[in-house]
Amino acid sequence: MGGGARQVEVRLLGPFGVFVDGTEARVSAPRLRDLLGVLALSTGEPVPIEAIGHRVWSEQPPDRLRPTVQTCVSRLRTLLGPEVIRAHPEAYALTLPRENIDVLRFTDELERAHRLPVPADERKATAAALDLWTGTPFSDLTADWFTTAALPGLVERYLAARERRIDLDIAGGVLEPLLVEVRDLTAQYPLREPLWERLIRLLDLTGRHAEALACYDDVRRLIADELGVDPGAELRALYAELLAADAQPDSTPDSGPATDPPVVVPRQLPAENSRVTGREDELKELNELLPAPDEKDPATVIAAICGIGGAGKTSLAIRWAHRVRHLFPDGDLYLNLRGFGPGDAMPTTAALRLLLGGLGLRAERIPSDEAAQSALLRSTLHGRRMLLLLDNARDAEQIRPLLPARGCLVIATSRDRLRSLVVRDGAHRITLGELPPVESERLIRSIAPDTQTDHVSELARSCRHLPLALAIIAEHATGRTPQQVAELLAQLHAEQSVLDTFDGGDEATDLRAIFSWSHRALQGATARLYEHLGLLPVSDFAVPAVAALLGATVTDTRRLLARLADLHLVEDLGNGRFEMHDLVRAHAAELGRLRPDRAEALERLFSWYTHTGYNARLLRDDRGSDRKLPPPAAGITPQQFPDAAAAVQWYNDERQTLAAVIRLAHATGHDRHTYELVESCEGDLSGRDLDLLTELLLLAQDSCTRLDDPLPEAFINNTLGLRYMDQRDDCERAIVHFERSVEIFRAAGLDLQASRGLGNLSVSHDMLGRTDQAIDLAHQALAIKRRLGDERGQANTLGNMAAMYHAAGRLDEAAEAAGEAIRYYRTIQSHRGEGSVLDTLAGIERSRGRYDEALSCHLESVRLHRDLGFPWGEAVVLTNLGHTYRAVGRIAEAKAAWQEALIICDRIHAPRSEDLDREQLVALLSQD
């Protein structure tokens, strides 16, 4: 807030508090506190009134919800200042900076701490974030939504941050002072295994080895009693490490030399999730990797299961391992390498010690050197057929020292593509992506069997078929009524907070946490790119556009995108395009909104698309433009095109992206960019998607009303008029827009532009049957254009006059006007204009009985439209060509032309118009 606005601070991490200019403001009404809390947690995004009702009043919102919310907002504005809460259509948003809301400041400071490369700095920053907690969050708020929806994820972040700070303290040698803190935490959260891991580790590091072992027994019994399961793999691995360290040789004189215990057959595979189904093709591919049963001394098989976080890599690996473990009679080992997680990746020496300890080796037999440990592992596994499941690896370098020699099966999972493991070590990579829709729906039904069929399909689509997301959302849907499931779907469609819904209760089932672990693995420029990709309004994108967003070269950007592809954060689609999974993009978008350089990045993006679109337009439709663009933003290089075909291809590739970028420019208040972007792509859309064109033109019109310059409004009104003129029923509407544009142009003394509006008015009146008025307006426009020497304008007006004279039966005047228009178009090399008027002249010649001349004009017009990549115009001319063929009795050729026009209609989904009517084409083709 700027100027004299009040400084407002909201505190939710403990007792509720609101401070205005440093003084606490008393918000006594519980509903007002709840409403302010809901708005504060929305990160500045508008919260729909309906959502406010459900969050503040739970299942019983007031009958007159809208006026009730309006009254509450009014009371809050009185207390805090009118500028604090902004009204949106059917929604409200808090306008405070994020640092003025302690919950948002807490999450932002944690993100900043995670990016710090120096552990001491990270520890300091993490501790500062934790200091913002002054008690139980939302303790003075009454709505159930805070405790059921907002609190669990916040507490999870808090505990993860406490654990990270503890790890940093341990790494820094702070041990004894931590014991009291960690004991207290395990008492508060007795079923949180990561806290027990740290307590056991601290006990061992401070010389309390026996107490550490006893502590494990205590937590094992607790988990068994409360949950009916064994401790997790990491806690069990820590216990095995303690046991290995505890095993000392007998020191009595008669004991003889120390020996290892008898060979053990470890069985460490985690339990299989019985609900996991599908992936049968991948399982078949994995089975094909196994050596033949009678093969002697087979080589070690390495199966690398890779993919995005949440794709089900671990589940598939465990499932397959259970299916084939009987083939490995000497046992199986499991190790979570912690490559992507809240803490650091497991060091290789620690991994080797755990594997060797799992094989029964005494601690004193294990050397301290990594290379010696790796050699010992290979020696120990020599001649044994074992299965090793190395889960969640950071990269190939973390896996390679753990590989056995021969006869074993290694299953490795990673978000990394593990390229060097494939190239150097012969691994077979299987990449997991989205589940097929049928498997997605089957997974949801296995968890939430009572969910309606249509809801199951929509839930699967909303989860983008990502297995973990499907499992989380199915659990949320379990036991809900159809109306409640519909509300859940509405939450999934709210893009700003979509990840809030995908929280399964702990970090391992929280999509936001899982994606954040991938983000933490990124370095410098790659992390910056990931965050910038969240600013894009689409999931697939071209490298040059991303380079502009980033302010980098195309070469550097392609290299950084390749690194993201290695980690399955984007997918390389080929042809210079990449795609980001929608849920990953939701996480990147959260980070992108926090970037301090967000405004500069969007400015580069809008500028690049504006200039690149303008370059494409000049080649594509050769109509030119009246506007002069400002220079490109610093740090970007707009794309150039060698010819019209390349420009058309760019439009084909970028059409939906351009529309999304325009919507983003409008939504973010970049009004001039909105207008410029629409003008750059209007020519492409006018022949393809008229509904989309209308939507974008209306956005541009809205933006133009906020610009000091009236000329953009005039240009957009003229273009809107052309759009409405394409539909005969909208000609009166078109006339309103044309008259407004002429009025603005005349007031600005722009006679040339005014003459073009007059020409368009002429055509609109002609389409309404007002031929005399139309011809009079055309003569007015032509006189101005002749006086100003506007060759293009004269050609346009003469072409229109030719059609008017033709309709009036004045065929000689029509042919003369058409011929003059064509000569002008050829002089200025406007092939699109030439093609259009050639078709007009063909109709005139047909009316004059000059069929050969008519056919020649039609065919040349078809060629020009086809070369320009203007399918709508091509289909119109083909329709007219068919009529001329039929007039001379060449029925087969007429039907061939109509058939070709129909194919184009279906391909571009052409809307029905006076010039092009699909139903008419079907009727013509059905005639004998």
pLDDT digits 0-9 by tens, 182-206: 998 998 889 899 999 999 989 988 8
The per-residue pLDDT for 557 is 92
603-624: pLDDT as tens digits = 999 999 999 988 888 876 655 5
For residues 473 and 470, what is the distance between their CA atoms, to the nearest angstrom?
5
Please determine, for residue 886, whether its predicted confidence score (pLDDT) is greater than 80.
Answer: yes
Q: Would you say 747 and 740 are in contact if contact means Cβ atoms under 8 Å apart?
A: no
**Contact at 8 Å (CB) between 550 and 528?**
yes
pLDDT digits (tens, 9 = 90+) for 488-527: 777 776 655 667 667 655 566 677 777 887 888 788 889 9
Q: What is the pLDDT, as a whole number, of residue 701? A: 84
Taking alpha carbons only, the member of 863, 872, 882 closest to residue 927 is 882
Q: How confident is the model at residue 126 (pLDDT cuts 50, 70, 90)?
A: very high
Strands (E) in 279-433, as ranges, are: 301-307, 332-336, 387-393, 409-414, 428-432
Per-residue b or e along 423-447, where b marks 16 or more CB atoms closer than 10 Å to that residue's CB: eebebebbebebbeeebbbbbbbbb
DSSP H or E run through 212? helix 209-227
How many CB atoms within 10 Å of residue 199? 23
CA distances from 2 to 5, 7, 599, 600, 797 (A): 6, 9, 18, 20, 53
- Judged against a pLDDT cut of 60, whether residue 680 lies above it is answered with yes
% of the chain residues with pLDDT over 90: 34
pLDDT at 582: 81
Tens of pLDDT, residues 207-257: 888 888 889 888 988 888 888 878 887 788 788 777 766 544 443 333 333
Mean pLDDT across 727-740: 82
> Is residue 687 over pLDDT 70?
no
- pLDDT at residue number 565: 87
Asked whether residue 810 carries a pLDDT value surpassing 60, the answer given is yes
Q: In what order do the strands lie in the sheet with 91-94?
A: 47-48, 91-94, 85-88
Residue 249 has a pLDDT of: 42
pLDDT band at 158 (very low <50, low <70, confident <90, very high): very high
pLDDT at 494: 62
pLDDT at 177 over 90: no
DSSP 743-804: HHHHHTT-HHHHHHHHHHHHHHHHHTT-HHHHHHHHHHHHHHHHHHT-HHHHHHHHHHHHHH
Q: How high is the pLDDT of residue 651?
A: 84
The residues, ordered by sequence, that sit 6+ positions from 454 with a Cβ below 8 Å of its Cβ are none
pLDDT band at 141 (very low <50, low <70, confident <90, very high): very high
Confidence of residue 1 (pLDDT cuts 50, 70, 90): very low
pLDDT score of 150: 86
User: What is residue 907's predicted lDDT score, i.e. its pLDDT?
Assistant: 87
Confidence at residue 497, expressed as pLDDT on a 0 to 100 scale: 60
Mean pLDDT lowest among 287-296, 309-318, 418-427, 862-871: 287-296
Three-state SS for 263?
A: coil
Q: Provide the pLDDT for residue 245.
A: 63
Average the pLDDT over each of 75-79, 292-296, 563-567 and give the range with the smallest value: 292-296
Number of alpha carbons in the 13 Å side-chain half-sphere of residue 597 = 11
The whole-number pLDDT of residue 495 equals: 53
For residue range 308-362, list pLDDT tens digits in order: 888 889 989 999 999 999 899 989 999 988 888 767 788 888 889 889 888 888 7
Mean pLDDT of the chain: 85
Burial pattern 838-856, b for ≥16 Cβ within 10 A else e, equals: bbbbbbbbbeeeebebbbe
**pLDDT value, residue 258:** 41
Contacts (Cβ under 8 Å, ≥6 apart) of 259: none
